[in-house]
C-alpha cells in the first residue's frame, strides 16, 4: 500500500501498530502470527506484508468478518443518509461520502482511515506539464478528472452542504475547495484499494474468489482493511482473496519462504492503466502493454465508394465496429480491423451482396495493407519523441519519478506499434499488387473474432 512518505518512522510505525491492534481487538480479524506489516517506503512501496516464517500453500493469512468491511451498510452513515445515498447513480459516489464521513475524529474506523494515503502518483494528480509527457498515449483520455469533479460538485457537494450536522467534523468541511480535495482523495483511494465483493443474500450463492467483473450484478465496491495493504505483482503473486458467506479469507496460492513479501495481483493490466489507477509501474506488467488505435483513424484511412454510414451501421449490427482497438505484444492485427477496412473498401455491389446474405468478409491482411500501414505510421506520429530518443532518456539516471514512468509507458506503446508495422510488412512483402488490383475478398458467415 502506498503511504505518506513525509511521516517520520516513529509516527509511521505508531499508525501501523494502532491499525494492527484495532484489527484484532475491534474488528475481530484473525491474523496469522507468521506475517507482519512492514514499512517498505525505502523500496517505494509504502506498507507491505511480509512472511516472518515459511508459509504453506493454501495457508490462511487472515480472515476478515464481512461486518469489518467498510461499505455504506457497515458505516454509521447508513442510518443517517442511507436511503438518499442508495438513490445515487453510482455506488462509487456513495462510497466516497462514506469515506469522507469516516474522517471525523470520533469515527470507529479512524485507525484504518489514518493509514490510507494522502498523496498519490496516479494520473489524476499529475500537472498538465507532467501529463504532456504521455502525449500520444490513449491513457490521457481515461483520466476523467473534469468529469469526476463535475459529479462531485453537482451531486455530492449539495449533500455535504445540506447536512452540517453530519459532515462538519470531517476533512471535507470548510469550503468547496476542501470538499473537492477530499472527494478526489477518496475517489483515488477507492480506485486504488477497493475490492469488488459479492453481495451476500440467502437467495444467491457465494463464488469462491474475487474474479467477478466490476459491472456484474450482485457485486458491491468495498474497502477491505488489511487486504488492501498487500502490494501487487503479476510475476510474484502468491496469495488471493476468497469469499465465504461470513468471511473474507486471504490465502496463499503457493508456498512462501520466510522474508518474502505477500503479493496480490491486479490481473493483466497494461502499464498505462497501472499508472492511471495505482500511480506506479513495474517491468512485470510489461507483457500486458497495449496501444490503442481509434476506429476514427481506421475509418478515415478508407474511402468507401459510397454509403459509408450504411456500412458502419451494418458493422455495428454485426458487433465488429468498436470505438478503438488494442494492439499488444503478440503484434497481431485485430481481425475486426481487417473486417472494417475491407468492408469500407469493397464496391457497392459487393457490400450489397454481403448485407443481403448477413455476412461479413473473412479477415485478410493483404487487401488492406497499404492503408493499415498508413494508420500505424500516423499513430506512431502521435508521439512527440522517437523510440531511440526515449531509450536514450532512460539511460540518464537523473530521469526519475513521474517523468521516468511516463517515458517507459510511451516507449512500450511505440515499440508495439513499430513491431506491428514490421510484422505487417514482413507478412505482406511481395504480395501486394499481385494479380492486378486488390485481391477479391472471400465471404463467410462470421469471422473468428478474438
Residue 1 lies in a domain: no
**pLDDT at site 5:** 58
Q: Which residues pair with 65 in a beta bridge?
A: 247
Residue 450 lies in a domain: no
Residue 436 lies in a domain: yes
Q: What is the CATH number of the domain that holds 244?
A: 3.90.1410.10
Domain boundary among 204, 236, 268: 268
* Residues 25 and 144 reside in one and the same domain: yes
The C-alpha atoms of residue 43 and residue 265 are separated, in whole angstroms, by: 18
Residue 254 lies in a domain: yes
* Residues 326 and 232 reside in one and the same domain: no
**Cβ contacts of 317-321, under 8 Å, gap ≥ 24:** 318/360, 318/446, 319/449, 320/360, 320/447, 320/449, 321/295
**pLDDT at site 4:** 58
The C-alpha atoms of residue 111 and residue 103 are separated, in whole angstroms, by: 10
Residue 92 lies in a domain: yes
* Residues 65 and 138 reside in one and the same domain: yes
**Cβ contacts of 178-183, under 8 Å, gap ≥ 24:** 179/152, 180/149, 180/152, 180/153, 182/100, 182/103, 183/96, 183/100, 183/148, 183/149, 183/152, 183/156
* Residues 66 and 20 reside in one and the same domain: yes
* Residues 250 and 363 reside in one and the same domain: no
Output the nine-digit C-alpha cell for 249.
479469507
For every one of its 450 residues, what pLDDT tens digit does the chain have, with 9 covering 90 and above?
555 557 888 999 999 999 999 999 889 999 999 999 999 988 878 899 999 999 999 999 999 999 999 999 999 999 999 999 999 988 999 999 999 999 999 999 999 999 999 999 999 999 999 999 999 999 999 999 999 999 999 999 999 999 999 999 999 999 999 999 999 999 999 999 999 999 876 544 444 444 434 445 688 899 999 999 999 998 899 999 999 999 999 999 999 999 999 999 988 999 999 999 999 999 999 999 999 999 999 999 998 667 899 999 999 999 999 999 999 999 999 999 999 999 999 999 999 999 999 999 999 999 999 999 999 999 999 999 999 999 999 999 999 999 999 999 999 999 999 999 999 999 998 675 543 344 333 333 333 333
Domain boundary among 202, 237, 268: 268
Q: Where are the beta strands (DSSP E) in 60-184?
A: 60-65
Residue 264 lies in a domain: yes
* Residues 26 and 159 reside in one and the same domain: yes
Give the pTM: 0.86
* Residues 203 and 125 reside in one and the same domain: yes
Residue 148 lies in a domain: yes
- Residue 176 near residue 183 (C-beta atoms within 8 A): no
**pLDDT at site 1:** 58
Q: What is the CATH number of the domain that holds 377?
A: 3.90.1420.10
The C-alpha atoms of residue 5 and residue 9 are separated, in whole angstroms, by: 9
Burial of 340 (0-12, 13-18, 19+ CB in 10 A): buried
Dihedral over Cα of 441, 444, 445, 447: its sign: negative
* Residues 141 and 233 reside in one and the same domain: yes
- Domain coverage including residue 25: 9-268
* Residues 309 and 263 reside in one and the same domain: no
What's the longest Cα–Cα distance across the chain? Answer: 80
* Residues 202 and 323 reside in one and the same domain: no
Q: Which residues pair with 294 in a beta bridge?
A: 324
Whose cell is 473534469? That residue is: 146
The C-alpha atoms of residue 114 and residue 144 are separated, in whole angstroms, by: 27
Tell me how many domains the chain contains.
2
* Residues 256 and 335 reside in one and the same domain: no
* Residues 310 and 201 reside in one and the same domain: no
Q: Which residues pair with 63 in a beta bridge?
A: 30, 249
- Residue 362 near residue 442 (C-beta atoms within 8 A): yes
Residue 279 lies in a domain: no
Amino acid at each position: 500500500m502506498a503511504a505518506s512518505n513525509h511521516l517520520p518512522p516513529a509516527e509511521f510505525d505508531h499508525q501501523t501498530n494502532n491499525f494492527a491492534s484495532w484489527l484484532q481487538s475491534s474488528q475481530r480479524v484473525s491474523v496469522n502470527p507468521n506475517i507482519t506489516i512492514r514499512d517498505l517506503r525505502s523500496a517505494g512501496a509504502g506498507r507491505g506484508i511480509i512472511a516472518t516464517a515459511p508459509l504453506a500453500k493454501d495457508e490462511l493469512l487472515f480472515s476478515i468478518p464481512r461486518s469489518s468491511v467498510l461499505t455504506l451498510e457497515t458505516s454509521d452513515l447508513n442510518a443517517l443518509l442511507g436511503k438518499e445515498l442508495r438513490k445515487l447513480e453510482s455506488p462509487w459516489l456513495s462510497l466516497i461520502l462514506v469515506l469522507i464521513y469516516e474522517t471525523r475524529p470520533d469515527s470507529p474506523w479512524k485507525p484504518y482511515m489514518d493509514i490510507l494515503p494522502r498523496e498519490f502518483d496516479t494520473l489524476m494528480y499529475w500537472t498538465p506539464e507532467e501529463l504532456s509527457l504521455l502525449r500520444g498515449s490513449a491513457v490521457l483520455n481515461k483520466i476523467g478528472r473534469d468529469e469526476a469533479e463535475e459529479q462531485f460538485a453537482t451531486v455530492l457537494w449539495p449533500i455535504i452542504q445540506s447536512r452540517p450536522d453530519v459532515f462538519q467534523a470531517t476533512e471535507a468541511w470548510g469550503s468547496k475547495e476542501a470538499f473537492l480535495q477530499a472527494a478526489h482523495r477518496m475517489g483515488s483511494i477507492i480506485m486504488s484499494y477497493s475490492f469488488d465483493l459479492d453481495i451476500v443474500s440467502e437467495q444467491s450463492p457465494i463464488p469462491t474468489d474475487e474474479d467477478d467483473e466490476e459491472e456484474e450484478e450482485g457485486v458491491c465496491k468495498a474497502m477491505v482493511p488489511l487486504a488492501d495493504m498487500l502490494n501487487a505483482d503479476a510475476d510474484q503473486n502468491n496469495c488471493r482473496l476468497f469469499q465465504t458467506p461470513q468471511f473474507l479469507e486471504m490465502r496463499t496460492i503457493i508456498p512462501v519462504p520466510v522474508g518474502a513479501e505477500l503479493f496480490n495481483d491486479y490481473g493483466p493490466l497494461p502499464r498505462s492503466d497501472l499508472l492511471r489507477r495505482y500511480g506506479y509501474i513495474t517491468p512485470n506488467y510489461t507483457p500486458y502493454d497495449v496501444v490503442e488505435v481509434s476506429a476514427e483513424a481506421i475509418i478515415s484511412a478508407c474511402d468507401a465508394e459510397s454509403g459509408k454510414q450504411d456500412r458502419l451501421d451494418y458493422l455495428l449490427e454485426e458487433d465488429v465496429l468498436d470505438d478503438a482497438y488494442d494492439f499488444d505484444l503478440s503484434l497481431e492485427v485485430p481481425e475486426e480491423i481487417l473486417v472494417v477496412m475491407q468492408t469500407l473498401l469493397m464496391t457497392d455491389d459487393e457490400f450489397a451482396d454481403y448485407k443481403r446474405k448477413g455476412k461479413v468478409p473473412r479477415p485478410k491482411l493483404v487487401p488492406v495493407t497499404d492503408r493499415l500501414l498508413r494508420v500505424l505510421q500516423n499513430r506512431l506520429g502521435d508521439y512527440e519523441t522517437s523510440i531511440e530518443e526515449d531509450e536514450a532518456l532512460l539511460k540518464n539516471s537523473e530521469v526519475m519519478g513521474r517523468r521516468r514512468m511516463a517515458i517507459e509507458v510511451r516507449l512500450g506503446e511505440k515499440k508495439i506499434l513499430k513491431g506491428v508495422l514490421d510484422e505487417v510488412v514482413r507478412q505482406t512483402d511481395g504480395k501486394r499488387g499481385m494479380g492486378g488490383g486488390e485481391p477479391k475478398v472471400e465471404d463467410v458467415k462470421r469471422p473468428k473474432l478474438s
